[in-house]
Amino acid sequence: MASHGSHNSIGSGAGPQSHAAASAAAARSAGGAPAAAAGEPGTSGRGGSGTSGPYVLGLTGSIGMGKSTVSAMLRARGVPVVDADAIVHALYAPGGAAVAPVGAAFPSAVAAGAVDRAALSAAVVGRPEAMAALEGIVHPLVEAERVAAMREAAERGAALVVLDIPLLFETGGEGACDGVAVVSAPAGVQRARVLARPGMTPEKFEAILGRQVPDAEKRARADFVIDTGCSLRETEAAVDALLAGALARGSGGAYARAVEAAAGAGGGHGSGKAPA
Ligand SMILES: CC(C)(COP(=O)(O)OP(=O)(O)OC[C@H]1O[C@@H](n2cnc3c(N)ncnc32)[C@H](O)[C@@H]1O)[C@@H](O)C(=O)NCCC(=O)NCCS
Ligand SMILES: Nc1ncnc2c1ncn2[C@@H]1O[C@H](COP(=O)(O)OP(=O)(O)OP(=O)(O)O)[C@@H](O)[C@H]1O
């Protein structure tokens, strides 16, 4: 759970201590995922026994806050990042496990063997019951994929797995994580970034913002905050500090709970995995 009393604000200009810790994290991530090693942070959970698996870090942020950029920086450091959006896109593509059940519930939303997102959006957005029905179909499939990806990372010795979930707070994803990092920037920076995108209008931007948990609330609920209203170089330093901070906490048991729940749902290793 993201329930630690205070969060670390990892903004521009990481201090000397952060740099030292960051180097340790960088060393751990050389050649692949930050690996568990004897005596290293991340090898024994603060609430666990040392066999509780990697620290599960949720990564989220409102539109235009820089989450995709931070996610790419984490991947570049060898951190396994499980991307919820990419999983949903694969589930909706031809051959994807969500196509048949979504088509059964929303016949207008499937064409040419794939889910048509615009048609599905028209069927569910603004209709809470329809959205809940869609989530009832999609979320268990996403969860099966997520657990499979986390398991692969754990088997490779990862001490940290990142779950990139745009709507983490909106969909109750906190409970699946040991901690949550929120990517954030001043409202003016966010607005300028988003309005610079092709096809974006102030009205669309406001509508999307209105459906997301406000940034101030996200920050308040976060264990780590990464500010991106600064240079990319400063954000790189903040990402190094985030890695060090997350690894220092050790697993809180989210990985073990996810694997256990998947086994209980009949989604043991190698089964319940949708084509991706
Ligand atoms: C509704 C869908 C078809 C819209 O797809 P589209 O490509 O048009 O837009 P996109 O995915 O970027 O979402 C646009 C906006 O819709 C809203 N939205 C999407 N899913 C949800 C949701 N589960 N709850 C609340 N709002 C949502 C958000 O504000 C989001 O910013 C799509 O988002 C979807 O299938 N959502 C349900 C699956 C889901 O919960 N995905 C979240 C990751 S697990
Ligand atoms: N310090 C910084 N950190 C992150 N991004 C920055 C920074 N400075 C400028 N940017 C730019 O801001 C933009 C952030 O966009 P990005 O796609 O990462 O946001 P996002 O939060 O993933 O958006 P969305 O949720 O809408 O997909 C990028 O074009 C990036 O280059």
Q: What is the pLDDT of residues 147-189, one digit of tens each?
A: 999 999 999 999 999 999 999 999 889 999 999 999 999 999 9
CA of 205 to the centre of ligand 1 (A): 15
Q: What is the ipTM of this complex?
A: 0.87
Give the residue extent of every domain in the chain: 8-84+159-264
* Contact status, residue 274 vs residue 98, Cβ threshold 8 Å: yes
DSSP E strands, the chain? 8-10, 55-60, 81-83, 110-111, 114-115, 160-164, 179-184, 224-227
Inter-CA distances, 156 with 32, 36, 153, Å:
9, 10, 5
Q: Which atom of ligand 2 is nearest to the CA of 229?
A: 1
Q: How many other β-carbons are positioned within 10 Å of the β-carbon of residue 96?
A: 21
CATH topology of domain 8-84+159-264: Rossmann fold (3.40.50)
Q: Which residues of the chain have pLDDT under 70?
A: 1-51, 266-276
Q: Is 117 in the pocket of ligand 1 (CB under 6 A)?
A: yes
Of 229, 245, 264, 228, the residue nearest 73 (C-alpha): 228
Q: How far apart are CA 264 and CA 259, in angstroms?
A: 9
pLDDT at 264: 83
Atom of ligand 1 nearest to the CA of 173: 44
Ligand nearest to the CA of 138: 1
pLDDT at position 257: 94
229 Cβ closer than 6 Å to some ligand 2 atom: no
